Amino acid sequence: MPFVNIYLHVGTTPEFRSAVADSIHQAMLDTIDIVPDDRFELVHEYQPENFHQDPAFFGIERSNERSVFIQLVINARPAEQKQNLYRRIVENLASAPGVRKEDVFIGVVEVARENWWAYARIVDDTGVDARAAQTS
């Protein structure tokens, strides 16, 4: 049950923002073994004055008004899986809606499996069903 927060500047189209959310969700489906309906994503929009980053990071220019910050809260996973996830997110965002890789910033927060609650997951007395045990 990942919880995804997407932060970008005001001024994009709803289609652009939906494509960002879709691309991130698809990347999680492809690399960290979640199920399609396990989707909880929010998009937050900022005035330029409230969105702070350096014009260059590690010598690479970042285009401020098109930057996308992403925070993923997920169950703990091996480092390799997280690397695959990052790579896929960046690839997907480059394809649609077309975000430069230089403009992506991703941070992951890992939590324990029991740190989530959604009604649909409680299907027996233990609060966890077989499907929940297999996925995130």
Binding map of a copy of itself across residues 10-49, x = CB under 8 A, - = no contact: ----x--xx--x---x----------xxxxxxxxxxx--x
88 is a contact residue toward a copy of itself (CB under 8 A): no
The answer to whether residue 124 forms part of the interface with a copy of itself (CB under 8 A) is: no
Q: Alpha-carbon distance 130 to 123, whole Å?
A: 9
Distance of closest approach, residue 61 Cβ to a copy of itself, in angstroms: 9
Which positions ≥6 away from 108 have C-beta within 8 Å?
71, 72, 73, 74, 82, 85
Contacts of 45 (CB under 8 A, 6+ apart): 8, 9, 10, 12, 17
Tell me: does residue 90 bind a copy of itself (CB under 8 A).
yes
* Known catalytic membership, residue 2: yes
Show which residues are catalytic: 2
